[in-house]
């Protein structure tokens, strides 16, 4: 049985499933000082992960009571089941709940189970149910509401947005400092991160922006729109979208877009899947055909579609399709990538908005884990990784007085590469200046290049 070794505030966590999501979680959670045990029937996968990270491994069926006992479930704080089988994940969590007091998180991808998520969570006593395909679809859809953005994330219950854009040649922001932006354009937004030639910085007032920079902007939805219009970016929603591949991600995305009035065309090679999608999505146009056939793409209107979204299960196909669409159309591109081993290469290609479902899943689970380890009075609501996990945006609910409350921000000794980017106070959204203060009851977003923050007090030196 593993002997858990962890920092004082760390959790004892069992992860069942050594696939892409499981490996991503192991890496993130072990780096943050949690004691992690990975469980999988595939000994080679377990050995690969345990040789890469300082974690324990257990080879066996994660839904087996004896395997869970061997993995240390009696002493565990949390079990996370992320195998490829929804039923196995539910069974893992059920066995763990019956044999220990640990919390449980289950990955569920089947739309049938997703529609019953609240019932399953309540009846089985699950702490969280996470659906990677649905969560990724929600993030992708937000980009199509604002297609000139590379990425759009919502936080503070929709009161504000984190938007990532790339500064084009000749734009008004080129050669403008952050201070000048506030004086000449608006003080109602905050640039909390800049990526330039592979390097990421959290900029100060003297930082000069340049064409080609990828910037992350925090603002309310209204002010975000006003800012983008003022710098010459279009803010109109996409009218239609062409999706290649008819899998779960495509179904979830199409369902969301249709409800927003965006037309959807799906090209899928499997006839039976086409027939099912016709039943599930009667307002969508379902085409039975090979989405990699360039003649078919032309025939179905790739040159005129507002958005082109390859969602096949093969990264190489998605990348090549996006590059092809970039060459022959002006469509907004969204590319789903499952593997993380070639991020540098992917970033060097012009694939539009690139999304990694496993990172989105890990962010949701990480927010729960951080909340479990947070000190009283400082609850974590969301965690977003920015710039390929080189920075984090963390939303705290401040429920108690502390060293950070009641003090003007300019008087706080805040850690380097850390920025307070948003304060939600009594229903008002504030893009803070040095004169603003954090109060009990506020929602606060912090952007940092440091890692492991699980308490609002962690921002202080």
Could you write out the DSSP letters of every residue in 58-71? Answer: EES-TT-HHHHHHH
* Alpha-carbon gap, residue 404 to 412, rounded angstroms: 7
Domain at 360-459: CATH code: 3.30.70.1450
Contacts of 392 (CB under 8 A, 6+ apart): 383, 384, 385, 386, 447, 448, 449, 450, 451, 453
Q: What are phi and psi of 401, to 5 degrees?
A: -70, 150
pLDDT in tens, 264-295: 999 999 999 999 999 999 999 999 999 999 99
Nearest to 385 by CA among 420, 356, 407: 356
Instruction: With residue 218 as reference, give the H or E element that holds it.
Output: strand 214-220
Query: Which pLDDT tens digit goes with each residue over 305-345?
Result: 999 999 998 999 999 999 999 999 999 999 999 887 778 88
Q: Given a cut of 50, is residue 4 above it in pLDDT?
A: no
Q: Can you tell me the mean pLDDT for 419-440?
A: 93
Q: Which residue has the higher pLDDT, 380 or 23?
A: 23
> How confident is residue 210, by pLDDT bands cut at 50, 70 and 90?
very high
Percent of the chain with pLDDT over 70: 97
| Tokens, residue 237 | 């929603």
Q: Please determine, for residue 7, whether its predicted confidence score (pLDDT) is greater than 50.
A: no
The Cα–Cα gap between 268 and 442 comes to 47
Distance, in Å, from the CA atom of 442 to the CA atom of 444, rounded to the nearest integer, reads: 6
Q: Where along the chain do its domains lie? A: 12-130, 240-355, 360-459
Look up the CATH architecture of domain 12-130. 3-Layer(aba) Sandwich (3.40)
Please give the mean pLDDT across all residues of the chain: 91
Q: How many DSSP H helices and E strands does the chain contain? A: 15, 22
Determine the distance from the C-alpha atom of residue 297 to the mean position of all C-alpha atoms in its chain, rounded to a whole number.
Answer: 30
Query: Which helix H or strand E contains 444, and what residues bound it?
Result: strand 443-448
On the question of a common fold for 240-355 and 360-459, the answer reads no
Nearest to 211, CA basis, from 178, 173, 163 = 173
Q: Which pLDDT value is given to residue 447?
A: 94
- Are the C-beta atoms of 135 and 153 separated by less than 8 Å? no
Q: How many CB atoms are located within 10 Å of the residue 168 CB?
A: 14
End-to-end CA distance of the chain: 39
pLDDT at 5 over 50: no
Q: Higher confidence at residue 300 or residue 346?
A: 300
Antiparallel, parallel or unpaired: β 160-166 and 214-220: antiparallel
Q: What is the pLDDT of residue 2?
A: 45
Angle among Cα 157, 226, 149 to the nearest 5 degrees reads 70
* pLDDT at residue 9 tops 80: no
Mean pLDDT within 39-48: 97
* Res. 3 pLDDT band, cuts 50 70 90: very low
- For the stretch 42-48, contacts whose Cβ atoms lie closer than 8 Å and that sit 24 or more positions apart, written own/partner, are 42/18, 45/18, 45/19, 46/18, 48/18
The predicted structure's pLDDT at residue 453: 85
240-355 adopts what CATH topology?
Rossmann fold (3.40.50)
Average pLDDT over residues 381-400: 87
C-alpha triplet 401, 190, 370: angle, nearest 5°: 45
């Amino acid at each position: 049985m593993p002997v858990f070794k962890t920092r004082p505030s760390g959790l004892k966590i069992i992860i069942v499933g050594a696939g892409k999501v499981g490996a991503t979680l192991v890496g993130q959670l072990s780096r943050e000082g949690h004691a992690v045990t990975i469980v999988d029937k595939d000994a080679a996968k377990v050995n690969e992960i345990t040789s890469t990270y300082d974690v324990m491994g257990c080879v066996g069926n994660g839904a087996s009571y004896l395997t869970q006992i061997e993995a240390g479930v009696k002493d565990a704080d949390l079990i996370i089941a992320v195998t490829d089988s929804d039923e196995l994940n539910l069974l893992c969590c059920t066995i763990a709940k019956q044999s220990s007091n640990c919390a449980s998180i289950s990955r569920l991808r089947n739309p049938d189970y997703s529609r019953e998520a609240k019932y399953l969570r309540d009846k089985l006593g699950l702490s969280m149910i996470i659906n990677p395909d649905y969560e990724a679809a929600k993030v992708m859809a937000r980009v199509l509401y604002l297609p000139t953005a590379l990425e759009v994330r919502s936080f503070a219950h929709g009161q504000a947005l984190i938007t990532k854009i790339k500064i084009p040649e000749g734009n008004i922001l080129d050669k403008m400092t952050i201070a000048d932006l506030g004086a000449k354009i608006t003080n109602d937004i905050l640039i909390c991160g800049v990526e330039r030639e592979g390097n990421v910085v959290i900029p100060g007032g003297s930082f000069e922006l340049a064409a080609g920079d990828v910037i992350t902007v925090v603002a309310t939805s209204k002010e975000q729109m006003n800012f983008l219009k003022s710098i010459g970016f279009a803010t109109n929603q996409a009218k239609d979208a062409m999706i290649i591949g008819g899998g779960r991600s495509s179904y979830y995305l199409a369902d969301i877009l249709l409800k927003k009035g965006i037309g959807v065309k799906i090209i899928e090679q499997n006839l039976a899947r086409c027939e099912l999608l016709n039943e599930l999505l009667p307002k969508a146009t379902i085409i039975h055909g090979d989405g990699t056939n360039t003649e078919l793409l032309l025939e179905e209107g790739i040159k005129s579609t507002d958005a082109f979204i390859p969602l096949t299960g093969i990264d190489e196909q998605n990348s090549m399709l996006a590059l092809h669409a970039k060459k022959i159309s002006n469509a907004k591109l969204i590319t789903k990538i499952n593997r993380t081993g070639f991020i540098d290469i992917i970033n060097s290609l012009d694939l539009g908005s690139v999304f990694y479902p496993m990172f989105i899943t890990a962010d949701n689970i990480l927010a729960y884990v951080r909340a479990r380890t947070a000190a009283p009075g400082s609850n974590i609501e969301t965690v977003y990784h920015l710039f390929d996990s080189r920075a984090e945006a963390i939303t705290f609910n401040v429920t108690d007085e502390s060293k950070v409350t009641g003090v003007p921000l300019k008087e706080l000794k805040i850690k380097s590469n850390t920025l307070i980017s948003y304060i939600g106070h009594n229903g008002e959204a504030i893009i803070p200046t040095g004169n603003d203060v954090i109060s009990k009851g506020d929602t606060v977003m912090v952007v940092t290049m440091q890692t492991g923050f699980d308490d609002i007090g962690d921002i202080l030196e």
